[in-house]
Structure 1
């Protein structure tokens, strides 16, 4: 009896420890933002919110974010779903290479894509000059609403592709065969059979795409050129208020959190209306095409992927060009890489060091939280699981403001955890923000493991902790690794939070790329972007080798 009590206390202690961490690094920072926004000179006041809603400038900015995020989400759903359909239904060469290219297009920092498209389609861009000088096209305007939507679509459709590709593997081919035997055409099967089956997945992908687009500030900052979006407004208001009254920036952060939460709850409600389970006994087998249909599939697939990776390809090319000030000159050189390693060597090291420390925390916490949420389900563990999803909907800029506000002078101004400007605050911000990816993947993996396996181990004399470490963890490791690689790749391409939290000693490659672009050091920025791309590719290839899989899905 005493032995059982110790076992129970072990999981209780773990639950309590995780809850304390969430209180310190999630609940407390957001609470501090609320306090700062709603209390002016020590008195409760809604003046900041009144200012926001009374001025058209701010409401228009918010509406701009909705327009650009919604439009990008729609286009990303169309492109990503179409590619997933073609990959799942038809056989063609180069699938593995194309999938790696698609993921690379997604995992690079969004503002890097914006910078690349400026080099390609900007006023002095390579494609722009060719179209104007050779084909006598009118001036192309890549800036503003259209440019932001283009970058977001090409950046985010791979997420839809990964989600939908995973869903296609759960569709039983007998369902499609039954529809075909009843005289249903390919188009009818797509609309009346496949699309309804994919609806829950599409809703989940749409939420992720919308939230990524809504919270990004690097892309509109570089390519928006006057087209104001909400994250840029929050960032600028906070930066301009440093050293003074930051209450208005905090009120904007609260509005962003409220909007994100509302969208999340609406998506969850709608998704529950369409929720069902699928069990694929006979997975869909890709068909071999010939003639015109085969050519059309190749054109669509390779054409889309080429456009998506074109920015990275061109950045890699420009990284080897000679530069003179802000312009590229004829000839090739490795000077950009030499300067990048000489001046930004610490940033390259930080991009590996800081996310790696965060990843260790993410893997440990995700494994324990997923086990508690599935195997030890009660009110307390369900609350922890719910807390873990909050970072999923909080914009990165808001997180940065919350952490600076909370830990500049320590918890409640006591000096305890006064970590602003340290590597530790970067590690914790990345851990808390990217933890949901690994948790959700780990939970999905654990749900597929029958509890009877653990019960059998315990009946043979294994303790619960020993069973967890030697039976459960190894069996759920595929889900943990899958989520961890997504967390890792998003960590090394993180900008929106890091741009607020970094200092000279903790600058990462994404921050360095952003600052070099603003300074006009395009060659160095291209070299750093290429190094980041190589790091991403290496991570994905390592994942495929460890998981012994030729494909990656979510």
Structure 2
């Protein structure tokens, strides 16, 4: 910690440099967005006209209500489904657990809009399951479109996020606490509610917040499966990029409302978490036990049932990619035609996805490890400010961030709109929190005495960091980086606003093909993206020796 009057070392300048970077790439764009939202469309002076317009018409604020309805429903369902899933996987020996862990992770890594598209293939009006039930049993399936479809897709997609948080929390509970409760007759659901739930509540709230923000920000799912069920991200996109000429100021005003709403939820979560938080150190962590009879059957049915439902969309997409097509129509037989067509049409999109993501992840890792170190080891006003600023993208929806960047960098001297640079900036800023969180968590576990020993032997601060601390941070850095990487290559909500024909990515290409009805091409691209995701996870497991990712 720096004392007043103490000579500034290299970490002070590192902190100031990163703060300046955040000011240019995040704070200034958000200020530009704020200015646009409170400006008059013609004179440019201060005005609340855009906000009056929003709250003066049902069409607009209904979208806000719809978004709240979707996000609250998805968050509650995700928590309800993920809690027993994590508990059963931690406390009971489940057959094929290692492979099930990987499947749960894979189910969460694909973009939600691919899940929406695959459920259309399964339960749409001409979906495979819909036609089978109708033709064979005469059963009419419920409508997959609208609110129900959006909640279904996002819930199955986001449950694994809460699951990953809870797995980490459950492993930090000392088993002696559970044994003491059981010795006093507190077992079953009572033990879960009275003992375990209060211990995991802070982590559960953190996972729920991430789900809430992801559901609030999702653009592709309601766009594909909503069928007129308007949500805020779709409304912002339509207002910003309209065939009749978009209104930047009105889109900015809507974005401000979303940011205020998101910050409110974030502060409520932080308040509750701070009141309930405590530290745990598991000397005897919970061990999975073998159970028999109906308990084992119910546990396996629940876990396998969820995983089948979660992974079914991706399996459907992969299967569809190998079907023979005639134009837009699937015909009998199998072929690689969809892959050939996908590579012909979207070769640049695949190259762009890799090149942009590689550059972005390098910056993410470099900046994240520096932020994690200074915010943990060098606590002062500057680093506390950096800690707060670095988490802002965590609560700002992607479409909002995209509009803020485009409004800011669309004229000299910072003319970045239409370039690869603006996409890289958006990827880095938005995905840094994942790597920062995991890196900071591991810095807390490294004893400062190790660094002090290196310094006492004459090593400089930077040399100590890169030679001693950074290698010890690597497991946490890699864990966060893999999440950042996967979310970068599957990013849609920001990219759809910032891309041009020369910077189109795979997620945009898939979305475009689905909108055009080219389901075979979309399925082939989705399969390639899923394969990249799986390969990324396998590399992570190989490098770290782990078989799961916990947060």
Superposition TM-score, scaled by structure 1 size = 0.96
Q: 1:333-370: CA deviations, max 9, x gaps?
A: 10000111122111111111101100000000001111
The corresponding residue for 1:222 is 224
Secondary structure at the aligned position of 2:85 is classed as helix
8 Å contact from structure 1 (residues 123, 139) kept in 2: no
Aligned position for 1:246 = 248
Which residue in the other structure is 2:400 paired with?
398
Structure 1 residue 504 displacement after superposition: 1.2
Paired position in structure 2 for 1:39: 39
Which runs of 5 or more structure 2 residues have no equivalent in the other structure?
A: none
CA separation in 1, counterparts of 2:108 and 2:15?
A: 34
Q: Is the 8 A contact 1:122 1:140 kept in 2?
A: no
Match of 2:452 in 1: 455
User: Shift in Å at residue 174 of structure 1?
Assistant: 0.5
For residues 348 and 432 of structure 1, the distance between their equivalents in structure 2, rounded to whole angstroms, comes to 22
Match of 1:441 among 438, 445, 451: 438
**Cα distance, 1:275 vs structure 2:** 0.5
Aligned: 1:124 with 2:126: yes
What residue is the counterpart of 1:350 in the other structure? 352
1:308 corresponds to 2:320: no
Equivalent residue for 1:48, pick from 29, 50, 55: 50
| Matched residue, 1:373 | 375
Indicate yes or no: 2:472 matched with 1:475.
yes
Which whole-Å CA distance do the structure 1 matches of 2:239 and 2:51 have between them?
14
1:256 aligns with 2:258: yes
Please state how far the C-alpha of 1:425 moved relative to its aligned partner: 0.7
Where in structure 1 do 4 or more consecutive aligned residues deviate above 4 Å? 241-244
1:387-536 to 2 correspondence within 5 Å? 387-409=389-411, 415-536=412-533
Query: By how many angstroms is 1:243 displaced?
Result: 5.5
Q: Paired residue for 1:194, among 177, 193, 196? A: 196
- Counterpart of 2:8 in 1: which secondary structure? helix
Q: Which residue of 1 aligns with 2:296?
A: 294
Confirm or deny that 1:143 pairs with 2:140.
no
Q: Is the 8 A contact 1:7 1:464 kept in 2?
A: no
SS of the aligned residue for 1:251 comes to helix
Give the conservation status (yes or no) of the 8 Å contact 2:29–2:408: yes
Q: Distance in 2 between matches of 1:244 and 1:171?
A: 53
Considering only aligned residues, what root-mean-square deviation do their CA atoms show, in Å? 1.4
Q: CA deviation at 1:191?
A: 0.7
**1:550 Cα deviation after fit:** 1.9
Q: How many residues align?
A: 545
Q: Which residues of structure 1 form unaligned runs of 5+?
A: 410-414
Q: Is the 8 A contact 1:400 1:501 kept in 2?
A: yes
Deviates more, 1:147-156 or 1:288-297: 288-297
Cα offsets for 1:109-168 (capped at 9, x unmatched): 010000000000001101111111112212420011110110011000000110001111
Greater displacement, 9-18 / 441-450: 9-18
TM-score, normalised by the number of residues in structure 2: 0.97
Contact 2:368 2:436 in 1 (8 A): yes
Separation in structure 1 between the aligned mates of residue 70 and residue 239 of structure 2, nearest angstrom: 21
Residue of structure 1 in register with 2:286 after alignment: 284
State how far apart, in whole Å, the 2-side matches of 1:510 and 1:51 are. Answer: 33
Report if the CA contact (8 A) 1:105-1:155 is conserved.
Answer: yes
93-102 or 113-122: bigger deviation: 93-102
Deviation at 1:296, TM superposition (A): 2.0
Q: Which residue of 2 aligns with 1:28?
A: 28
